[in-house]
Amino acid sequence: MDLQRSHRTPTYAVIGAYRLLGQMPPDRVALTDYVRTHHPRELKKFEQERRIFEFQQVQSPVWLGDSAAEFCERLKTWTAPLPYLKQYEQHGYPVFRSELGLVQCRALLGMEIAP
């Protein structure tokens, strides 16, 4: 897809690749700021929120040596899974991988996993 602005998911993958190589990406401060401010919902309106993007937004600063603690308040408001749109899933069951993003975020930030 040809976008004028980058998407955070490939950035998350590159940060993870640097981590696997045991290196810190260049310009860590600017990269941390980018990850915090460039959620994919800023590129286009989502039909439905995907929590996996929040996981990427929390994991990336942690990999870059930042606490990412400012996300705690938002994560506290998430107390139930997001039902999937019924036009795509007859029963509205949530997307497991996306909902797992909440559990992963809470674990990364040292928050209580429940509710």
Question: Per-residue pLDDT tens for 70-88?
Answer: 989 988 888 888 888 888 8
- Considering the domain boundaries, does residue 2 fall inside one? no
- Considering the domain boundaries, does residue 113 fall inside one? no
For residues 11-29, give the mean pLDDT. Answer: 94
Nearest residue to 70 (alpha-carbon basis) of 113, 28, 105, 115: 105
Domain enclosing residue 19, as ranges: 8-108
pLDDT of residue 23: 96
- Considering the domain boundaries, does residue 34 fall inside one? yes
- Considering the domain boundaries, does residue 44 fall inside one? yes
Q: Which tens digit of pLDDT belongs to each residue from 29-78?
A: 999 988 888 777 666 666 667 788 888 889 999 999 998 899 899 888 88
pLDDT of residue 1: 44
User: How far apart are alpha carbons 63 and 66 in whole angstroms?
Assistant: 7
> What's the total number of domains in the chain?
1
**Cis ω before 81 (30° cut-off from 0):** no
